[in-house]
Structure 1
Amino acid sequence: MESTMSNNKLRGDNMDVISDRKWISETLEIGKEMLYLTQKEVIGIGINEEEILKLTKDALFAHGKKEYEMPAKIGVHPYQEVFYHAMPAYVPSKNAVGMKWIECYPSNPTKFNLPQTTGLLVINDVSSGCPIALMDSAWITAMRTPAVTALAAQALHPDAETFAMFGSGIQGIEHVKYIGHTLKKLKKIYIYDVREEAMDRLIKEVQPKIDIEIVKGKNPEEVVKSCEVLSSATVIIKDPLAVIKNEWVSKGQTILPCDLNTFWDPEISKRADKYIVDSKEEHELFSDMGYFPDGLPSIKCETGEIIAGVSKGRESKEELIVCSNIGIAVCDIVVGREIFNRALSSHVGTKLEL
């Protein structure tokens, strides 16, 4: 279990927790009711991209400093390409404790005209453990995932002028929206998807909102060879697709996959000068489940440790760095707790009896 329970900062009996419970009790009868927030209400709270980045950075900082508790996410897999994940976490600095239950069905859009990803997030009262909120988690996931990529890119390759995004679904769209917030020198964003209409949809939605030119890549090789920083949000399966070939990748690039070991030739991560992950324990768990059939690369450190200044990021322009971020619950719980705070203050949501 990823935690540092001997650290006093993880104890739940401080004055902040007591005052927090008192504040919640002014609006919500803890133990008898909780606040329910629909996806529309979660989005309507109005947390913007810069605020998501700040909240996500706080969560990663706590993770890097080992001021949290978060077991590796367990899951079930009814079909080969499908997963359900249970993701609990406790971040004392935010009085944030709870769990996300999320599932991914890649065929949903075409098969049922439903989103690929749906889920719920529970927030609990630290003092008593009673649930105080239940909310949609799909939007939170869609926001915090590109925020982690953008923050990692800033920490590892701040001067980059080119960025590539493989996959033009919801995550691809949000990555292209977010990356300019942290990579201030970007001149071009290359995108690639096997679906031409997905790339067209991304450009139509995002280009009017950002000043950076979005370029449709002709093929994966061209995109890889054109960019300094690259990310991917495709599918996650046990047998690597290895769409991106090892020989296309050069020294000095930074690769930030969100799809584990699927999209990139596994040799790329193995030959990288630094292989960084958001959670060592989660990557080891996925390896035990067979998602790294050629073996898990040697892990240098965790993303949060780079953010918190505990470990060094890029030390040379020639370094090839791979930073694999598959999603950690501390980010979801911190963002979810802030949404709850604002909903409670604004009297948004529906009170449900327990």
Structure 2
Amino acid sequence: MNLEEMLKKEKEKIESKIKIGSEILYLTKDQCIEAGPDVEQTLEIIERTLDAHGRKEYEMPAKIGIHPYDDVFYHAMPAYVPGQMACGEKWIECYPRNPKEYGLPQTSGLMILNEILTGFPMVIMDGAWLTAMRTPAVTSIAAAALHPDAETFGMFGCGVQGIGHVRYIVHKLMNLKKIYVYDVRRESMERLIEQVKDEVDGVELIMAASPQEVAENCDVMSSATIITRENMAVVKKEWVHAGQTILPCDLNTFWEADIQRNADKYIVDSREEHVLFDGMGYFPDGLPEIYAETGEIVAGIKEGRERKDELIVCSNIGMSVCDVAMAKHIFDAALERDLGTVLKL
């Protein structure tokens, strides 16, 4: 069956529930969670998507954005992944001030998926939950591809993403013995450990006293903190050593710029998006030379770690191919379970 035939069959399935062109399905966050994939399913979806990205089987312009405040961004993130019949866009915002000032999450967003044969929108859903699910999946898959024998993992930032990263990483790094976590707020570290302790059986969870303790003791590290144009350089280059794998989710923010610039391999999820952010001033010391994209490593097109003493940095800032793939899984499951509200267009 070719793609056109698959799309026609897909359209028939959708129209058994909603009338394309005159109706649209609306899914709340709770309904997305009910229909959504679990950790293992998410890892499967994202690994398949990264493989497709590495093989250039997608269409995804670099995310564009607006910035009403210096510490705030809105991103428009469209993508098309033919192999998963997923086509749509995420509109997402990040307000770091929200939790403290308004008692609201810092990230919110909406997903829209379109029916590919006609182009009409077919579903609107919450976009924050699937973002929280796919982001740690990318980190964990990249970690397994670059450092499968790691025994120690360090997580900087113990919010929603920190919790997700610790929850996911044990599914992909099978030799882990210790996980170090660090956050400027002790209560955040305590909350993370309380939420994940039953899911990391046999792995010791350690609240680090400082960023230096994490950096000096971990084979693999990730950071999910705030994103700023100015490099905060919390982790210093003298704390990092040969043979480590570093997987930031926060651009150039958290790590001293020389760490990325002097890495043996600098890998990114999307070249185009990193070049775009460089042009916007997020790499004031210059964008390091890019060796490969994460998907190219996952697909086996480019070599990952070739020597034990390589220092590898793999920057994953989030790609909409992953978002639309996750959203398509949620939409399909919601149709099967009769979830959501049908609205008139």
Q: Find the counterpart in structure 1 of residue 307 from structure 2.
A: 316
Provide runs of 4+ in structure 1 moved above 6 Å.
none
Q: Find the counterpart in structure 2 of residue 138 from structure 1.
A: 128
Separation (CA, whole Å) in 2 of partners of 1:47 and 1:144: 10
Q: Find the counterpart in structure 1 of residue 236 from structure 2.
A: 245
Separation (CA, whole Å) in 2 of partners of 1:59 and 1:111: 37
Cα drift, residue 209 of structure 1: 2.3
Determine whether 1:56 maps to 2:19.
Answer: no
Q: Find the counterpart in structure 2 of residue 236 from structure 1.
A: 227
Quick one: which amino acid aligns to residue 38 of structure 2? N
Q: Find the counterpart in structure 1 of residue 275 from structure 2.
A: 284
Quick one: which amino acid aligns to residue 183 of structure 1? L
Cα drift, residue 46 of structure 1: 4.5
> What TM-score do you get using the length of structure 2 for normalisation?
0.98
Q: Find the counterpart in structure 2 of residue 172 from structure 1.
A: 162
RMSD across aligned positions (CA): 0.9
Would the aligned equivalents of 2:266 and 2:312 in 1 still touch at CA under 8 Å? yes
Q: In the alignment, which of 177, 183, 199 is matched to residue 189 of structure 2?
A: 199
Q: Find the counterpart in structure 1 of residue 323 from structure 2.
A: 332
Deviations 1:222-249 (A, max 9, x none): 1100100000000100000000001111
Separation (CA, whole Å) in 2 of partners of 1:125 and 1:30: 8
Cα drift, residue 213 of structure 1: 1.4
Determine whether 1:26 maps to 2:16.
Answer: yes
Quick one: which amino acid aligns to residue 273 of structure 1? D
Partner SS state of residue 69, structure 1: coil
Deviations 1:37-73 (A, max 9, x none): 0001001115210000000111111100000000000
Quick one: which amino acid aligns to residue 104 of structure 2? L
Determine whether 1:17 maps to 2:19.
Answer: no
Q: In the alignment, which of 70, 73, 76 is matched to residue 83 of structure 1?
A: 73
Determine whether 1:303 maps to 2:294.
Answer: yes
Determine whether 1:114 maps to 2:99.
Answer: no
Would the aligned equivalents of 1:13 and 1:127 in 2 still touch at CA under 8 Å? no
> What TM-score do you get using the length of structure 1 for normalisation?
0.96
Separation (CA, whole Å) in 2 of partners of 1:206 and 1:182: 16
Q: Find the counterpart in structure 2 of residue 5 from structure 1.
A: none
Deviations 1:273-319 (A, max 9, x none): 00000000000000000000010000001000001111110000010
Partner SS state of residue 175, structure 2: coil
Deviations 1:25-46 (A, max 9, x none): 1111001111100001001115
Separation (CA, whole Å) in 1 of partners of 2:289 and 2:93: 29
Cα drift, residue 13 of structure 1: 6.1
Would the aligned equivalents of 1:250 and 1:320 in 2 still touch at CA under 8 Å? yes
Determine whether 1:72 maps to 2:53.
Answer: no
Quick one: which amino acid aligns to residue 255 of structure 1? I
Cα drift, residue 208 of structure 1: 2.1
Q: Find the counterpart in structure 2 of residue 42 from structure 1.
A: 32
| Structure 2: runs of 5+ lacking an equivalent | none
Determine whether 1:274 maps to 2:262.
Answer: no
Q: Find the counterpart in structure 2 of residue 104 from structure 1.
A: 94
Separation (CA, whole Å) in 2 of partners of 1:190 and 1:352: 47
Separation (CA, whole Å) in 1 of partners of 2:20 and 2:153: 46
The count of aligned residue pairs is 343
Separation (CA, whole Å) in 2 of partners of 1:57 and 1:322: 19
| Structure 1: runs of 5+ lacking an equivalent | 1-11
Partner SS state of residue 22, structure 1: helix
Would the aligned equivalents of 2:249 and 2:315 in 1 still touch at CA under 8 Å? yes
Would the aligned equivalents of 1:231 and 1:255 in 2 still touch at CA under 8 Å? yes
Partner SS state of residue 14, structure 1: helix
Partner SS state of residue 191, structure 1: strand
Would the aligned equivalents of 2:223 and 2:254 in 1 still touch at CA under 8 Å? yes
Determine whether 1:210 maps to 2:194.
Answer: no
Sequence identity (%): 58
Q: Find the counterpart in structure 2 of residue 294 from structure 1.
A: 285
Partner SS state of residue 77, structure 2: strand
Separation (CA, whole Å) in 2 of partners of 1:237 and 1:122: 28
